[in-house]
Amino acid sequence: MSDAALTPTAPTRIASWVVICFLLLPLLVIVPISLTDQDYLSMPVDGISLRHYANLFTSREWLWSFTQSLIIASISTLLAVSLGTLCAIGCWRLGNRISEAVRLLMLLPMIVPTIVYVLGFYRLLVDLKLLGTYLGVIISHVVTGIPYVVVIVSTALASFDLRYDQAARSLGATMSQSIRLVLLPNIKAAVASSAIFAFIHSWDELLIVLFIAGRSIFTLPRRIWDGINDKLDPTMAAVATMLLLISAALLFLDLALRKRES
């Protein structure tokens, strides 16, 4: 197939930009709202103001929610990456129908509607007496973050040359040494990428926290949700802008890691 045949046509480019703008413009509207000089959610009237950002970094409630989100997302990401990577490696080594079934099982949180598995988590955590605890929220975030890790790491393993592992084993390396010294260094970019997506997932998760967390756990998404229901404080727009910037920075970091690896 010639390069000319692969070049996007003008209608295709236009349609692509229309879709991109449709997805991004609603998010970008948050930025000017966060700079409003009013006491409610609106566009700036008499000029831009940074007082809502100042409130974000001085309010004890917002800072506590930021700390909670950071702690929960960090712990959940560490556990999800560890378990998901081991699961992907195990399925890759087995390479049989059982491994395919296990991989499909790990992907269920991405397939099943969110409300369905949240209700399942709710019932399970009630029986385990973990409802309303940090441990219950972290476990739920780990389970729903593992699919991102399994998908990304499995994709990297599909292009890994098995002869490297065989050579290491023939030279006397144990399975753990082969994984630690040969396999992981070759898929480190995929592991880092999966960690980014697992962190973003936990950082932005709302529905799980609404159902499972108690009144003492207020992550940033939940604080925004409660703010929308109680009062239209423009600080919510400032927080949403910060979340958007953090997510965008992490995605650009992922692109940089992929480019460097390639």
Instruction: Please name each of the domains of the chain with its CATH number.
Output: 62-261 (1.10.3720.10)
Average pLDDT over residues 191-216: 87
Q: Name which residue leads in pLDDT, 229 or 132.
A: 132
Is residue 6 pLDDT above 60, yes or no?
no
What pLDDT sits at residue 68? 92
Tokens found for residue 11:
């209608």
Tokens found for residue 68:
């909670």
Is residue 77 pLDDT above 90, yes or no?
yes
What pLDDT sits at residue 2? 47
* Report for 47-61, 187-201, 245-259: range of highest mean pLDDT: 187-201
pLDDT (tens digit per residue) in 38-60: 777 778 877 788 888 888 788 88
What pLDDT sits at residue 138? 92
Is residue 211 pLDDT above 90, yes or no?
no
Instruction: Determine which of 66-70, 182-186, 189-193, 198-202 has the lowest per-residue pLDDT on average.
Output: 182-186
What's the mean per-residue pLDDT of the chain? 82
pLDDT (tens digit per residue) in 153-179: 988 888 877 778 778 877 877 777 887
Tokens found for residue 224:
């925004």
What predicted TM-score, i.e. pTM, was given to this entire model?
0.81
pLDDT (tens digit per residue) in 16-30: 888 877 777 777 778
